[in-house]
Structure 1
Amino acid sequence: MHPTARQFATQVQEVHGFEPSIEEFPEGTKTADDAAAAIGCDVAQIVKSIVMRVGDETVLVLTSGANRVDETALGAEFGVEADAVRSATASEVKDATGWSIGGVPPTCHATACPVLADPTFDASDEIWAAAGTPEAVFRLTPETLRTLADPRFVDVFE
């Protein structure tokens, strides 16, 4: 197992008492479509970890692989205009989460940024999220996502 995926497994076990079953795919799981194809699941079952800047705040948005973040709705959720919402840069992602783009898990972050989640996850029995690298994922349920990430489920998606 890649050392970064192992680091995630250790952290989530220590912090939450959850032992993830991590699967690695050498062909990569960088995009939701790539992840779904590698895993053999529907793209809607992929948890995309999108790190956004909303005004002066960094926010992690967990969206279904079938959806996109609606920047206007996200801004409204935080009381800012859409032009104050943007994707975080690679360094902002790393600073806020401790993980690099493509491998950001839904939990065990470097900072306590707000976490929002897509309500459509409840339509699936199992979902898949990044486990620290662009090649590593782990299976979880929507209920486990609630436990691990403590997100606010809101509809800020297209």
Structure 2
Amino acid sequence: MTEPTEPVSTEHPSITRFREAHARLGGTGEVVILPDSVHTAALAAEALGCEVGAIANSLLFDADGSPVLILTSGAHRVDTEATARRVGVPALTRAKPEFVREHTGQVIGGVSPLAHPAPVPTWLDVQLQQYDVVWAAAGHPAAVFSTTYDELARMTGAETIEVD
């Protein structure tokens, strides 16, 4: 007689880590695995049937070797000079893929605001407040989760900021 075995999960480990962090932090939204990778806020919005502005892009920047995560509305770009001044760093440069993986454990296009190996200083775009439901990456380019602005601020400990 064989011993019963646990079912083997086919979910990507970064999504599993996200789900665990989301639950631990009291997240109430749903995790959605999209059929294809959604590389842009516009593609994610189309797949989810929401406005592009309701997509919270998780953009990791390199601030002289330290990570800075900006959660911004998909409706606009981050003014890096102004945002650097607002968060109190000399400059923000787009992080290289290796830097992103080192500090988030995730890949560009799938960086979630949660489940990083160590805390990452995070700022939340005030423009996202206008949406009842906000969607953000869930640790993988094809995974997203629903949340609210207030819940996202609570779970991440992010300070609010104007980014454009």
Deviation at 1:52, TM superposition (A): 0.3
How big is the alpha-carbon RMSD for the aligned residues of Structure 1 and Structure 2? Answer: 1.6
Distance in 2 (CA, whole Å) between partners of 1:7 and 1:30 is 21
User: What is the total number of aligned residue pairs between the two structures?
Assistant: 154
- 1:119 is matched by which residue type in structure 2? V
Unpaired runs of 5+ residues, structure 2, are 1-9
Alignment map for 1:45-124 (pairs within 5 Å)? 45-81=54-90, 84-124=91-131
Unpaired runs of 5+ residues, structure 1, are none
- 2:44 is matched by which residue type in structure 1? A
Q: Is the 8 A contact 1:9 1:20 kept in 2?
A: no
Deviation at 1:19, TM superposition (A): 5.0
1:21 and 2:30 are equivalent in the alignment: yes
Deviation at 1:98, TM superposition (A): 1.4
1:127 and 2:137 are equivalent in the alignment: no
Q: SS of 1:139's equivalent?
A: strand
Deviation at 1:12, TM superposition (A): 2.0
Deviation at 1:97, TM superposition (A): 1.1
Q: SS of 2:82's equivalent?
A: helix
Q: Is the 8 A contact 1:90 1:100 kept in 2?
A: yes
TM-score between the two structures when normalised by the length of structure 1:
0.90
The answer for the alignment partner of 2:7 in structure 1 is none
Deviation at 1:80, TM superposition (A): 4.4
| Structure 1 residue ranges (4+ consecutive) displaced by more than 3 angstroms after TM superposition | 78-81
Q: Is the 8 A contact 1:9 1:19 kept in 2?
A: no
Higher gyration radius (CA): 2
